[in-house]
Amino acid sequence: MAQTISRRGLLHGAAAVGALAGTSVLTGCAMGGDSDKDAAKGETSAANPLGVKQDAPLEVVIFNGGLGEEYAKAHEAMYRERFPQAQIKHSATQQIAETLQPRFVAGDPPDVLNNSGGSQIDFNGLVSQGALADLGDLLAAPSLDDPKVTVKDTLRAGIIEAGSYDGKFLSLNYAYSTYGIWYSEKLFAERGWQYPKTWDEMIALCRRIKAAGISPWTYQGKHSRYMSWPILSAAAKLGGVDVLKAIDNLEPGAWRHEAVRAAVDAYYQLAVDGFLQPGAAGMDHIQSQTEWSRGKAAFISCGSWLENEQKAVTPPGFRMAVGPTPSLTRGDKLPFEAFRGAGSEPFVVPAKAGNVRGGLEYLRVMLSRKGASDFTRMTNSLTCVAGSSAGLELSPGLASVTKLIDAAGSNTFTWLFNSYYRKLERTLVDAACADLFSKRINSAQWVERCQQAADGIAKDPSIKKYKRA
Amino acid sequence: MRGKRLFIAAFLIPPLLLYGIFVVSPYAQAFQISATNWGGLSPEYEFVGLDNFRRLLGDGTFWNALRHNALLLALLPVVTILLGLFLASMISVGGRRDRVGVHGVRGAAVYRIVYFFPQVLSVAIVGVLWKEMYAPNSGLINGALRAMGLDALARPWLGDPRFAFWCLALVLLWSNVGFYVVLFSAAMQSVPRDIYEAALLDGATRASTLFRITVPLLWDTIQVAWVYLAILAIDGFAVAQIITNGGPGYSSDVVGLRLYNTAFTDSQFGYASAIGVAMFFLTLSVAAVFLRVTRRDRVEM
């Protein structure tokens, strides 16, 4: 039996419990009450397909991380142009959960929220508590640039799947990140090294790199989950995307799949053969990536935000580039060019927002050609709008990312367990990877650790389960 | 009489009111929330009775965190107090014997300031500072080890589950000992000098002066220090959150951090409140037990 607390009910309860006069007024604060705001809605028309009320104020909260907040100001300016009477309130923070959790409870959340970063609000909680508005209307609406094309048709493959929970599209992953293995083209050209296409070539190259006095690999030791990305990517390429779907669906024995075993065996060899930078186990992402930027190590696993994150310490002429994970065998189900591409920077419209329509419209503005290219220009990151980087002058890393995308065609994949069950990746797989690459456990034990972690999540009744189709 | 009462009440009511609103009522509400499955993002919840506490009993990650707090509780007060007493007595009465009588080591005033220094820094700064000190390649600790030719001892400190927790314990010790040095040396000022001089004349060593004279005379202060440090050991949240966030894995987790992550990253406020309630009783009973155990007859002077 689900109960809804009304403010009055709470006061009654609190007055009965509270022995201290005066406290009852405030006792209700933490658990909040229902908002009695009416969702602002205006007339729909061709120019205003989502029915935004002209003068309804709009509040936007941005995660102020690697991508900054400037891009949002550009989007807000575009929105203001369309709705000059609307007041726009902009704020940016890194403490998303801490600042916004009380507002969700109070029924007074912002209209648009970029729920990102280390303290993002757990999606499992947001979705299972019905705190997010369905973005289906946005998908069906005509795009800002061409009324004949719906917003849905402007998105890259996989964006809708990654933002959907039980068939409802709730989160728009606005940035598009490609994951792979990063290196400096300058370093490789100087030394005559070639990015390896197979794992055997990778090991052979690591030997040469080590002989040249450079660490072949470094990694974000305190966030070792970064190294689970090439492992799972290699496994998906070897065994097909079904390997990942089984993991996402917490199927029994999913991590024990042959392809996962082969992939983790391969990457474990980096630790066994001493190809990892000494000390990397104790570095966080900034420290290890800086070592890599300084040329102390040749390879690092990361996503395409790396270029922006390293902007301040990248030496001129470094020419950072990304390659897909090398194929493990000749019989891999996916070609070498296949890579993990996934949305990041999840934008949501809270269900209890005062201006849900305006929130949807704001996302529609973001997804326009101009909105997307502004974002790419300001952040060196691609968006989920297909082909939105065309005609822009690209930085070296971003140029390499677009090459990667073009070469792969439709051969992209990703996994979703990290957003379904945040703890599984952020804590459990992370710890298993930390132990693996410090050689405290071997690859077979890693598989068992991850399997047990997944089984633990599957058994936990307090965590809502999602199914990936 | 009535006027006097009114006068007293006028002073008492505002603080009591503030205390009630900002201390008592959140505590009371935590008890209420701990009996629900509230997720913290909507006003909806169900009462689940004692389910959260039952779950707590079987939750390995909670017990792991509690074990770390228990270790801190067993070691941090003892080590901090011993070190604090040692440093304070060196500063106050540890100097060489000469005609001036009993006094501290040379440069005692400087040491007093140096030891107190960590106390001036906010815990956030302490955390960030030590995070860099422990950094494997650029950090001061490995750098110092390497400079002394002890390369084999250099470790990826915070990246190794065997050391991460002890690294945190060391930071807690470092950041707290200074305060107790100052506290104890202030208390030592009130001990009559002639007692020390008499001990010196009788040929007492520094160690026996410390344990036979200083400790008994400072017992009240030590007792208070003990309770404070015990409460600190049960907490440990800020340092753990900033330096390791409990990692790698759960190897440096503490109960406070478990509570915080359960609430803010797993979004299970009901269960997190149950952890909080458990912690409340734990802290309360530890303080009570410590006060009982350390009770002793006061030495009259």
Among A24, A36, A283, which would you mutate to test the B interface (most chain B Cβ atoms within 10 Å of its Cβ)? A283
Among A128, A220, A222, A459, which would you mutate to test the B interface (most chain B Cβ atoms within 10 Å of its Cβ)? A222
Taking the mean position of all CA atoms in its chain, how far away is CA A106? 27
Per-residue pLDDT averaged across A170-177, rounded?
A: 92
The lowest-confidence range among A175-179, A431-435, B89-93 is: B89-93
Chain A: residue whose CA lies nearest to B21: A23
CB within 8 A of A183, min separation 6: which ones? A195, A298, A299, A320, A321, A322, A323
Cα of B261 to nearest chain A Cα, Å: 10
pLDDT over 90 percentage in chain B: 26
- Tell me if A105 and B21 make a contact (CB, 8 A cut-off): no
- Cα–Cα nearest to B259, from B229, B237, B281: B237
Sorted by where each starts, the structural domains of chain B and their CATH numbers stand as 60-293 (1.10.3720.10)
- Tell me if B247 and A440 make a contact (CB, 8 A cut-off): no
DSSP structural state of residue B96: P
- Tell me if A122 and B266 make a contact (CB, 8 A cut-off): yes
User: Residue A11's pLDDT is what?
Assistant: 39
Of A31, A98, A422, the CB nearest to B43: A31
Chain B: residue whose CA lies nearest to A95: B264
Size of interface A-B (CB pairs under 8 A): 160
Tokens at A200, concatenated: 């055997």
Q: What string of H, E and C letters represents the secondary structure of chain A?
A: CCEECCHHHHHHHHHHHCCCCCCHHHHCCCCCCCCCCCCCCCCCCCCCCCCCCCCCCEEEEEECCCCCCHHHHHHHHHHHHHCCCCCEEEEEECCHHHHHHHHHHCCCCCCEEECCCCCCCCHHHHHHCCCECCCHHHHHCECCCCCCCEHHHHECCCHHHHHEECCEECCEEEEEEEEEEEEEHHHHHHHCCCCCCEHHHHHHHHHHHHHCCCEEECCCHHHHHHHHHHHHHHHHHHHCCHHHHHHHCCCCCHHHCHHHHHHHHHHHHHHHCCCECCCHHHCCHHHHHHHHHCCCEEEEEEECCHHHHCHHHCCCCCCEEEECCCECCCCCCCCCCCEEEEEEEEEECECCCCCHHHHHHHHHHHCCHHHHHHHHHHHCCEECECCCCCCCCCCHHHHHHHHHHHHHCCCEECCCHHHHCHHHHHHHHHHHHHHHHCCCCCHHHHHHHHHHHHHHHHHCCCCCCCCCC
- Tell me if A107 and B43 make a contact (CB, 8 A cut-off): yes
Q: Which residues of B227-264 are buried (b: 16+ CB within 10 A; e: fewer)?
A: bbbbbbbbbbbbbbbbbbbbbbbbbbbbbbbbbbbbbb
User: Residue A20's pLDDT is what?
Assistant: 35
CB A183 within 8 A of CB A191: no
Cα of B157 to nearest chain A Cα, Å: 6
CB within 8 A of A419, min separation 6: which ones? A123, A162, A171, A346
Chain A: residue whose CA lies nearest to B39: A125
Cα of A375 to nearest chain B Cα, Å: 28
- Tell me if B25 and A222 make a contact (CB, 8 A cut-off): no
User: Residue B296's pLDDT is what?
Assistant: 62
Cα–Cα distance between A339 and A327 in angstroms, integer? 11
- Tell me if B136 and A279 make a contact (CB, 8 A cut-off): yes
Per-residue pLDDT averaged across A277-290, rounded?
A: 89
Chain B: residue whose CA lies nearest to A13: B32
Mean pLDDT, rounded, of chain A: 87
CB A119 within 8 A of CB A95: yes
Mean pLDDT, rounded, of chain B: 85
Per-residue pLDDT averaged across B25-47, rounded?
A: 86
pLDDT over 90 percentage in chain A: 60
Q: Which residues of B touch A222 (CB under 8 A)?
A: 158-159, 244, 247-248
Cα of A93 to nearest chain B Cα, Å: 16
Cα of B29 to nearest chain A Cα, Å: 7
Of A131, A221, A440, the CB nearest to B41: A131
Among B17, B24, B267, which would you mutate to test the A interface (most chain A Cβ atoms within 10 Å of its Cβ)? B267
Residues A255-283 pLDDT 10s:
999 999 999 999 999 999 999 998 898 88
User: Residue A15's pLDDT is what?
Assistant: 37
Per-residue pLDDT averaged across A310-328, rounded?
A: 93
The four Cα atoms B192, B194, B196, B201 give a dihedral, to 10 degrees, of -170
Does the interface ipTM go beyond 0.90? no
Chain A: residue whose CA lies nearest to B40: A105
- Tell me if B267 and A121 make a contact (CB, 8 A cut-off): yes
Cα of B191 to nearest chain A Cα, Å: 44
- Tell me if B44 and A32 make a contact (CB, 8 A cut-off): no
Residues of chain A with CATH 3.40.190.10: 38-176+343-398, 177-341+412-459
Cα of A394 to nearest chain B Cα, Å: 33
- Tell me if A3 and B47 make a contact (CB, 8 A cut-off): yes
Per-residue pLDDT averaged across A437-465, rounded?
A: 92
- Tell me if A23 and B39 make a contact (CB, 8 A cut-off): no
Cα of B254 to nearest chain A Cα, Å: 15
A38-176+343-398: CATH, from 3.40.190.10, 3.40.50.1820, 3.40.50.720, 1.20.1560.10:
3.40.190.10
CB A110 within 8 A of CB A60: yes
Tokens at B116, concatenated: 């107190």
Of A26, A128, A431, the CB nearest to B249: A431
Chain A: residue whose CA lies nearest to B29: A27
Residues B57-77 pLDDT 10s:
988 889 999 999 999 999 999
Cα–Cα distance between B31 and A102 in angstroms, integer? 19
Residues A193-233 pLDDT 10s:
999 999 999 999 999 999 999 999 999 988 899 999 999 99
For the cut 80, the answer to whether the pLDDT of residue B294 exceeds it is no
Residues A5-61 pLDDT 10s:
444 444 344 333 333 333 333 334 456 555 444 456 777 887 888 888 888 999 999
Q: Which residues of A touch B39 (CB under 8 A)?
A: 125, 128-129
Residues A123-173 pLDDT 10s:
888 888 889 999 999 999 999 988 899 999 999 888 888 888 888 999 999
The four Cα atoms B33, B38, B43, B46 give a dihedral, to 10 degrees, of -90
A177-341+412-459: CATH, from 3.40.50.720, 3.60.130.10, 3.40.190.10, 2.30.30.40:
3.40.190.10
Among B17, B41, B130, which would you mutate to test the A interface (most chain A Cβ atoms within 10 Å of its Cβ)? B41
- Tell me if B43 and A5 make a contact (CB, 8 A cut-off): yes
